[in-house]
Amino acid sequence: MARPRRKDRTEPDGRQLKITLGDLRSTGVRDLIVFCQDYRCSHIIKLPAAYVDQWPDGIRISQLEPQFVCISCGMRGSNIVAGSNSTEKAILPRPVN
């Protein structure tokens, strides 16, 4: 049986594990990618490490998500994922050369 992927870890009661910025930083991830809560909008923005660094290690991703307001559609709330290289290759447009 395949081992569960790291991002799928959950609390014993089944809730999604509350990941903090400190947890992310300990894995070498310092960028975040923020998705608009509204799937019809699907606005995406990358927060560079220099911006994310303003927040302390103890802040949970789930605490940050409700604080974003989409600059495209105005909806409050977001989904945030770690901005690792593999994530970016999967979801972000490739740079134009």
Q: Which is nearer to Zn ion, 42 or 63 (CB)?
A: 42
List residues binding Zn ion (CB under 5 A): 36, 38, 41, 43, 70, 72-73
Q: Which is nearer to Zn ion, 63 or 72 (CB)?
A: 72
**Smallest distance from the beta carbon of 46 to Zn ion, in angstroms?**
15
Task: Select 27 or 72, whichever has its Cβ closest to Zn ion.
Answer: 72
Q: How far is the CB of 32 from Zn ion (least distance, A)?
A: 16
The beta strand positions in the chain, using DSSP E, are 32-36, 44-47, 78-82
